[in-house]
Amino acid sequence: MTQNQINKLDEYPIHQTPLSMTRVGSSDRNFYDRNYFNALDTGSDTFLVTGFGVYPNLGVTDAFATVRRGDTQRAVKFSDKLVERSLEPKVGGYRIEIVEPLQQLRVVCEHDDLSFDLTWEGSFPAKPEQPHTILTGVNRPIIDAQRFAQVGSWSGTLNVDGSDIAVSPSSWHGTRDRSWGIRPVGEADHPGRLASEPSEGFWWLYVPLRFDDFSIIVIVQEEPDGFRTLNDATRVWKDGRVEQLGWPRVHLTYKSGTRIPTKVRLDLTTPDGKPLEVEVEAGTFMALNVGCGYGGDPDWQHGQWKGAGWSDSTLYDLTDPAIAGRIPFGVIDHVGHARCGDAEGWGLFEHGSLGRHDPTGFADWGSVAP
């Protein structure tokens, strides 16, 4: 590749650096640009999580789709070499069509074991989140990312292992986000000094919820001692108004002997100082480290080089001890059934509690709820 190579995106006035759009503004190998979607059926336990990403400095693009029904997760993945970035996100049998930016998208997956043709419709305006940064002990960012989130509904068709499922916006809700920046992707970096200074823990809560008249998005990240490094709580109305909801007080209930949450109460505060309480019950869940490529997935990681034109399909039995044993050591996406006063809502209840977390009494990596 020559220094002056260009691609079709260079025709558009979208540059942010004095570089061709063949390159990104950071040389960090972990630069990424990704879509995440989930689709949940309020009338059954079917739960879909899917995503697409490009990794310009690794020369890789990939996508995944995972559906949970009962105690199984069917996962399909696609990966290929990244030839050039374009306005048409696609890899293998997977593609995203941006029908109306920030409002309507079509997501298509074509595979014998798992296929769908789904249209996303945003119920409320997309909301930019606070920048997300995590530094290592040597002050190097392992996450330095920007993201926006949206709640909405789905329509279309879904086929899992030969079973056709109609997807109607009356019962199929979901959330999505777009994020880009730096986070661990592909093959792991050599740990160097960090190998002798391992992390004591990671604690994360992400709750985007859709109600009839508004959406609520809460994001909290804390250090092992409870120091809060990310605090973002907002309510978005249909006309685009955004209310900040203060400093969430988080009250989690876990299944005994585990770190699997069963519910959470969020004590929020409106701009005029009034309390606003949101209760979320955890429904069926998706283990993101089982077929979805997120941290701790031994089968596949986002951005990992698998060769040109690679695809894979796996059916996971969540009752298999080898699979069940890895679930607690990753972030878990639950279907969230919510109440806010008299309003009923649905959305994502995403939580990860790994290692030490003093506020909940977890002393180390082996601690669980009483």
Q: Provide mean pLDDT across the span 223-240.
A: 94
206 burial (CB, 10 Å; 0-12 / 13-18 / 19+) is: buried
For residue 196, pLDDT beyond 90: no
For residue 1, pLDDT beyond 50: no
Q: How confident is the model at residue 141 (pLDDT cuts 50, 70, 90)?
A: confident
Which amino acid does the sequence have at 29?
R
For residue 134, pLDDT beyond 90: no
For residue 127, pLDDT beyond 60: yes
- List Cβ neighbours of 186 (8 Å cut-off, separation of 6 or more): 29, 30, 55, 58, 60, 301, 302, 303, 304, 305
- In whole angstroms, what is the distance from residue 57 CA to residue 22 CA? 10
Neighbours of 263 (CB within 10 A): 16
Q: What is the pLDDT of residues 285-321, one digit of tens each?
A: 999 999 999 988 999 999 999 999 999 999 999 999 9
Q: Provide mean pLDDT across the span 233-242.
A: 93
What is the pLDDT, as a whole number, of residue 3? 59
Neighbours of 361 (CB within 10 A): 10
Q: What is the mean pLDDT of the chain?
A: 94
Listed residue (290, 210, 198) closest to 39, CA to CA: 210
For residue 2, pLDDT beyond 70: no
Q: Provide mean pLDDT across the span 319-339.
A: 95
Predicted TM-score (pTM) of this structure: 0.94
What is the pLDDT, as a whole number, of residue 135? 84
Q: Provide mean pLDDT across the span 346-360.
A: 97
What is the pLDDT, as a whole number, of residue 197? 74
- In whole angstroms, what is the distance from residue 295 CA to residue 170 CA? 33
- In whole angstroms, what is the distance from residue 294 CA to residue 183 CA? 11
For residue 225, pLDDT beyond 80: yes
Which pair of tokens denotes residue 50? 């899917």
Q: Are 114 and 128 in contact (CB under 8 A)?
A: no
Whole-number percent of the chain with pLDDT over 90: 86
Antiparallel, parallel or unpaired: β 90-91 and 72-81: unpaired
For residue 166, pLDDT beyond 80: yes
Q: Provide mean pLDDT across the span 313-341.
A: 95
Q: What is the pLDDT of residues 337-351, one digit of tens each?
A: 999 999 999 999 999
Go through 25-34 and write b for each residue having 16 or more CB atoms within 10 A of its CB, e for each that does not: eeeebbbbbb
Is the alpha carbon torsion for 307, 313, 316, 322 positive or negative? Answer: negative
Q: Provide mean pLDDT across the span 55-73.
A: 97
What is the pLDDT, as a whole number, of residue 108? 98
